[in-house]
Structure 1
Amino acid sequence: MDHLVRLTRRAAVTAVAATAATLVLPAQRAAARTENPLRRAHAHNDYLHTRPLHDALDHRFTSVEADVFLVDGRLLVAHEPSQLDPARTLESLYLDPLLARVRANAGSVYAGYDRPVQLLVDLKNEGVATYLELHARLRPYRAMLTAYEHGRVRRGAVTVVVSGDRAAREPMAAQRVRHAFYDGRLADLGGPADASFIPLISDNWGNHFTWRGDGPMPAAERDKLRTIVATAHARRQRVRFWATPDQPGEARGALWSELIAADADHLNTDDLAGLEAYLDAYDR
């Protein structure tokens, strides 16, 4: 019976989400954006959208991801070296507009929202040098940033988490003052580094699970997912999986439902409107 209830709810949520965007009036959507940021919504490859950061914030996302390359002492945002543009810096696309919002909203990215918004920075080249440049570039923004200072974490409106090139780990771990944190892997779960260094555990879904949303999730894999999340949460760490199905349809909705049921912290997508509509429908 529980299995039938879950399947019925998945089908209902998927159907409602498919039409939610057209059924909600523009004024209602604007009010929802102001009042209800989506705490699980993570914009993967955010910088590929027409309006990096702003599109995600318009859809109420609370986590965004940007790839950066170190080029001539500047941090340029791009997916591939062929896409590098000197005008598209981390500061201009992300840090400056985030700071403007924090100042306008009395210390929060979203007015009245008391959780940090996450900026995941994926280092694409020269891991150590790129991180050290990032550390220097973050200093002018430290008033809005969550920071690690001499053994304690001071929470801010924006939490920067460093992913990508793993060589950055050693210099980060050695710092007594940091304006960023480290994106761990499942291999770090239960390890010696705690949430003051690794607040986020991220990994490739396909490296750990065979289920892609078609049919019921195998019980053993559901138990494994819930154990991963519970273990991370016991250490105050959040969980994100990338490379999950991202094409609209029942499989994506079923997998998102299982992640929510397991209390995973971030749902990874390039489809901003699709995830916004899904989460609104799920909540209803």
Structure 2
Amino acid sequence: MKTRFQLLLAALFLLTGANVFAQAKYMHSHNDYANNTPFYKAFYNGFNSIEADIFLVNGTLLVSHSDKYLEPERTLKGMYLDPILYALRRDTTRRLCLLIDVKDDHVKTLPALVKALDHLKPLLLSKDNPQGRLKILISGNRPVPANYKNYPSILWFDDDLIYPHTQAEWDRVGQVSLDFEKWSKWKGTGTIPDADKQHLQKTVDSVHTNTGKLVRFWGAPDNMESWNTQIDFGADIIGTDRIEQLAGYLTKKAMTQPVTTSIPNKLLK
């Protein structure tokens, strides 16, 4: 005879499906600078992570996806660093990840970035400041893991599982970001093929088990069906260009991580 708890459990599954036990997700604003209100729209919609692509041009860090569209007034300082400093000073509970995608030579660009971050240093998450509320995550053109030690600990690194790591190198990794199309050609219409979903699930489980890192897939279809599918196979961070829609969707499902929680470098036990 089923217990009262078992009957309640079964009812929950019937009403909401297996996702009743899914983890709340972190929200990432992909290519944030391309939307009509860079930084502010994502920040005030509760996003935990915001992306800016950068080039170093005549000593200034400019924000753009391509060197064909560089504009001198679109600086990293003006579009992101200064607004972040102001916002985090006003809201002393808020935490944020700024994912910086380096589009040119990281050997020249990363030292310039470190210099540009100097006025934010009290806020920066690092080995020496574990309570820092701003994590700087380096993606795109970045050093090989063996060279992470050459950079200050205010810089964390995105990983794509291409290179082997020592434990010390894994300790500098903020998250794992993978190209969705290498796992599936599904376009977000209808149901994802079972084989693809199982492959994605196994990949996420393997990263969690072997590295403890959180996982984001870039290049995934950007619609409700895709977001729900990513939730089902266990992606930790959901990226989007549709800021308000994703925020509303996850809020409705009660699956949004609080803005006072930073994206951890390792899964929380």
What TM-score comes out, normalization by structure 1 length? 0.74
Counterpart AA for 1:280: T
8 Å contact kept, 2:146–2:165: no
Q: Which of the residues 239, 243, 252 maps onto 1:281?
A: 252
Counterpart AA for 2:184: F
Q: Deviations over 1:188-207 (max 9, x none)?
A: 5x843554211211121001
Distance in 2 between residues matched to 1:200 and 1:211, nearest whole Å = 24
Using the TM superposition, give the Cα deviation of residue 9 of structure 1 relative to its aligned residue in structure 2, in angstroms: 6.3
Local SS of the residue matching 1:154? coil
- Structure 1 partner of 2:124: 145
Tell me, yes or no, if structure 1 residue 270 matches structure 2 residue 241.
yes
8 Å contact kept, 1:181–1:197: yes
Where does the alignment leave 5 or more consecutive residues of structure 2 unmatched? Answer: 1-11, 18-23, 256-269
Q: Which of the residues 62, 71, 91 maps onto 2:57?
A: 71
- Structure 2 partner of 1:133: 112
Would you say how many aligned residue pairs link Structure 1 and Structure 2? 236
Tell me, yes or no, if structure 1 residue 204 matches structure 2 residue 208.
no
Report 1 or 2 for greater relative contact order, CA contacts < 8 Å, sequence distance ≥ 6: 2
Matches within 5 A, 1:40-55: 40-55=26-41
Counterpart AA for 2:220: T
8 Å contact kept, 1:128–1:171: no
Q: Deviations over 1:45-74 (max 9, x none)?
A: 101122210011122111110011100111
RMSD: 2.8
Go from structure 1 to structure 2 and tell me whether the alpha carbon gap of 1:211 and 1:49 turns closer, same or farther (over 3 Å shift): closer
8 Å contact kept, 2:33–2:39: yes
- Structure 2 partner of 1:160: 136
Counterpart AA for 1:205: F
Using the TM superposition, give the Cα deviation of residue 228 of structure 1 relative to its aligned residue in structure 2, in angstroms: 2.3
Counterpart AA for 1:263: G
Using the TM superposition, give the Cα deviation of residue 223 of structure 1 relative to its aligned residue in structure 2, in angstroms: 2.7
Using the TM superposition, give the Cα deviation of residue 231 of structure 1 relative to its aligned residue in structure 2, in angstroms: 2.9
- Structure 2 partner of 1:83: 69
Matches within 5 A, 1:1-284: 39-106=25-92, 108-109=93-94, 116-149=95-128, 154-166=130-142, 168-169=143-144, 173-175=148-150, 177-188=152-163, 191-192=165-166, 195-234=170-209, 235-246=211-222, 252-283=223-254
Counterpart AA for 1:199: G
Instruction: Report which of the two has the higher share of helix.
Output: 1
Local SS of the residue matching 1:119? strand
Where does the alignment leave 5 or more consecutive residues of structure 1 unmatched? Answer: 11-37, 110-115, 247-251
